[in-house]
Structure 1
Amino acid sequence: MGAPFATWWNVGPGRGVPPVAPRWQGGGVTTASPVTLDDVLRAREVLDDLLHLTPVEGSEAFSEIAGHPLMLKCEHLQRTGSFKVRGALVRLARLSDEERRRGVVAASAGNHAQGVAWAARRLGIDAVVHMPADAAIPKVEATRSYGARVVLGGDRVEDALARATAEAEAEGRTFIHPYDHVDVVAGQGTVGLEILEQVPDVGTILVPTGGGGLVAGIAAAVPAHVRVVAVQAERAAAYPASLASGVPTTVATGRTMADGIAVARPGDVPFGVLAAHGAQALTVSEDDLSRAVLSLAERAKQVVEPAGAAGIAAVIAHRGETLDGLAEPGRKVVVVLSGGNVDPIVLRKVFRHGMAAAGRYLHLRCNLSDRPGSLVGLLEAIAQVHADVVTIGHVRTGAGLGVDETAVDVEVVTKGSRHSTEVLEHVRESGYDAVVR
């Protein structure tokens, strides 16, 4: 099961069909929703045939877990590997001739960077993209391959944003925000239009959420009876506090494998849309995210980055509980897989983390007598319960070790939680002081 049952946050006038444009209360002023269905429809005209119509795939495995018919909107198969190119293309296409001449600048950990770079090349616009110093190498190289000049520096996306806005002011470039602009939100909303056409009986849409551009665009695009749910990593979840307070709120964030949705404050434009439409939000843990990435690869044959798998993480974490109060009988749940740009090294770590969270990966440490044959006995004990040893490491000096002892770390793949318990018990019964690491 993951973390305790997610906290739900609701705001706005509900999802009944409004007689006029939706309105929201923010900063003491009531305003209309910043992005409407008409905005999204016009954005689709801009995109035309430039991008892929990403597929929607059914999944018996995840439908069974959810307790409702469930479909996967495979936006990780979009050009550049994520939905971000939609908003970037709409934003850049609407620049004036003078703005195009001066060029654009953006900041991103990866997906927005690639979207801006691809769109800029398509439209013949010079682009500079600021990225954190530790940005994933595949994302950096992909951004460069699309023709943008990449500037690395700083530890956080916020550092890159500060440098990008400073360059925009100094050089007259147009800053392309990753989520807080009406054109960007409208562009992302075209995902919602496609879902309506591909799954006419959709009732609930689960959307990975950082700043909120994608989930807000979808909320603006779909009719009032379709419930839109923002899913955030619990270590970087700004929307619960923001929706509870009624205004965009900055929260402290921790390190999360879902770096693509690690945003400390919702965008004003996305928050306005979500508040107007009465959207809901929930959070998922790191274990939930890693299990989702692993499950998508194993059960749906889809390679998705942790941020892009947040919707499935919610389904796996709470199974039918999460959707019981949302999904209407006879209507489908659609989970957006928002991105697939993941570093292979990171993917390996996430898979291992996911296997551990699912009880299928066991890391044991045993103190052995440092003499020939000691390790053989331990490995035989593990083999007797049909577990698969994948790595072995030795620690010959350290606290608690005698001069004639060595600590052995053994990483074992098992068939699940029960098998892991069986392995541990058998190793201990065989005379080894095994400790789970």
Structure 2
Amino acid sequence: MNPPNDTVSIPFSDFPEDVQLSILSFLTPSEITAFSCTSKRFNSLLNTDSKLWFFLCDRKFGSKTQINKWGSGKISYKRLFKVLSELENLIGFWRRSGPSKNDDDDFVTPRLLCFDWGPCYVIGSRVSGSKSGGYDVVKVPCLWVCLDSEGERLSFLDLNCKVRVFDDLGCVEDELIRVGVNLTGRFHFVVEENVCFDKVGVVEDTMSVRDKMIGSVGNQLMADMYQYFANRTSPAGERWLRRQKRKEKERKKWEREHYVKIVNCSPTPSRPLQGLWKGICDDMKLGLYLVAYDEIGGIACRRIEDSSKPFSGFFPMFWTSNATFIESPLSPEEQYIYDSRTHIRPPEASSDHIHGDEAVSRILYIKLSCDLVIPDFADAYVNTQQVEGRIWQYGNGTFGFGFLRDGHIVDLKPITRNDNNIET
């Protein structure tokens, strides 16, 4: 009999199979491949889809989505694990990069997107300020990424943001447009219309005719001739042509869009101002702001807008190259600068000044954006004092900013918690 303090070594092969699978589910796919080469038994065990790969999918994604519903439950767990690992890069916040050619009177492409897990898809939502005049942030679903029964990725765009219920194959409403969501690395993706498909993934009439009559994409002339004479002789030909023209017109509205991931969405102790924030602007509308630190310690704040106006979503609100705070207590001059300003708040908000946990704990000097973006203009026409401003950080971690030439403070509240959770 072994003494009580002695340890007993048990070979891994002697563990029950469910324990083995649970342990192996923490390995990476490349490590699993290497381990499967150690014996025929483990090779058979690790290549059984309903065992190890189910454990992998369930452990990593089971709490986020319903793994049995992806692809109508017809795809292997090995394939599902690979695809879900790729789609996991979409989860989080993304901002549109560059100007948009898609903005018109009917719809405006979102400047800020938030991706979350759905029951059997990844859902992208337009994030914008509420029009009610308060601090509410609105998330409206507009983009879905799912899988078909073969494990191939399907993506659908709702320009009107009206669809609320979406199934795993995307067959819900005719208003959806089939698009491609193409990830380039971990921090960039492109949304572009899939030209081979019409609404809700239905192949265009012209493509189906060519496939059936010709069998290949060659011999373009024969396909065009068939389509022309079929339309001339068919009683429904005129209606078909009108429908095709309408589809072509709709298709031309959508241009390729580029999105860049917002990696640091929430403040940290070393970077207390970074992340996504919301605040009431001087026009009494809720604005969304992105504050980012650069590699040398500077800070820039930009306002994110759904607008096609010049510089919208690009023009920084303020910046500083020195992120050194001045701690409380403030000097009499700085205290006067703060006390002489009014806080922009929603109409229904309390007229009280600042709550106890929002007392100013420290300040930071900032500058107006014009001397950064248009330095010649700033030097010639703008008084140096007018472009100076302050950030007032409060005891609860939030902050407000304002400029010496203005008489107000824009108080900002966090949008996110733990980077991906949004307060709506």
Q: Same fold (TM over 0.5)?
A: no
TM-score bracket relative to the smaller structure:
under 0.3
Higher relative strand content: 2
TM normalised by structure 2 equals 0.24
Higher relative helix content: 1
Higher CA-based Rg: 2
Instruction: Name which structure has the greater RCO, CA cutoff 8 Å, separation 6+.
Output: 1
TM normalised by structure 1 equals 0.24
